[in-house]
Homo-oligomer: A and B are copies of this chain.
């Protein structure tokens, strides 16, 4: 960590700050006196040093972090890729993990039929929302616990592990019992109380990046779960909010190689929510594979025009089948090995 002092700060004040930082943290402070201003270099484990507290000092101009503030999710301390096993399937290994299914569970017939269809095309996991976070209180809020029951029927029929979103901590026990992968939605990425409680389970957690979360904040939210003991975290890029309005969000595919470099956790891409346009799912899914994602999360619906939720971004089973076929021709997943090499 680097502390940049304001110009004209006296050596006395610098020394006082140096002593204060050293007394409160397990670090050594090196002082470099520059031409216009001095800087302090903190050496040691700075993960737990509170930068804002130092910034509150009147003579401090700014504080820059050198070390990443996350430990458990940091590739530096865990060089090998994490592979998360879920029943017969896995996320993070050599094989691309494809999660597919409708935005929301609507009926037994619907979810079972779609589950069978996506399984046939090669999906390894079934998604389906039971509890739905909707911007409007007047929109369909999901079948809730009845939705979980229907997902279980679909799992029984197909053997596909189920992935579904949790919206409040009071449902954790039920989700742990019923569900294979618990999803935390973008809007709850910094619902820290929920993250902490999920950290006390041992279920795989699919953590979606918040609409305006930086990559570092996403990793810090993973850290919340991991620091409570649950290291089974899968990250998911699903578009960030920008000024561009043609797509609902802007899919940030650069986040995949970035996360691969910074962390050992698996990371997948959700092209359906990113664009919010069904006809973009195909090219964006291909790009996600090419960029090195560990998996995809795709919305598939047998009747998008009558879907209770997000039909505009759902593809039909036949389009999904074609997509799975196309994707199989794209070399992916080995790409990030290149990052270890130098630019020769």
Residues of A within 8 A of B (CB): 2, 4, 7, 30, 32-37, 39, 41, 43-45, 47-48, 50, 52-53, 55-58, 64, 66-67, 69-70, 76, 131, 133-140, 167-170, 187-188, 190-194, 196, 210-212, 214-217, 220, 223-224, 227-228, 240-247, 250-258, 261, 274-275, 278-280, 282-284, 286-292, 304-316, 318-319, 326, 329-331, 335-336, 338-339, 342-344
Contacts and interface: CB of A to CB of B under 8 A. Distances in A.
A343 B290 contact: no
A343 B317 CA distance: 9
Contacts of A188: 190-191
- List the 7 closest pairs (A to B, CB-CB), nearest first: A56-B311, A212-B212, A290-B290, A55-B312, A187-B190, A168-B193, A287-B291
18 contacts: A2-B66, A7-B76, A32-B32, A35-B45, A47-B138, A52-B309, A53-B312, A55-B311, A56-B310, A58-B343, A64-B64, A137-B220, A251-B254, A257-B283, A282-B335, A283-B290, A283-B336, A290-B330
Given A34-B41, A187-B190, A286-B335, 13 more contacts: A56-B311, A64-B64, A69-B136, A169-B170, A212-B212, A240-B243, A242-B242, A242-B250, A242-B252, A244-B255, A279-B339, A283-B336, A318-B344
A304 B188 CA distance: 30
A283 B312 contact: no
Contact of A138 (B227, B326, B335): B227
A192 B134 CA distance: 8
B331 A319 contact: no
A283 B338 CA distance: 9
A143 to B, nearest CB: 15
A52 to B, nearest CB: 5
A56 B250 contact: no
Contacts of A308: 53
A324 to B, nearest CB: 14
Nearest to A60: B312
B307 A56 contact: yes
A283 B337 CA distance: 11
Contact of A169 (B168, B292, B310): B168
Given A290-B287, A314-B56, A335-B283, A33 B39 contact: no
Nearest to A131: B193
A217 B331 CA distance: 34
B247 A250 contact: no
B290 A139 contact: no
A67 B5 CA distance: 11
Given A311-B52, A311-B56, A246 B275 contact: no
A290 B318 CA distance: 20
Contacts of A140: 50
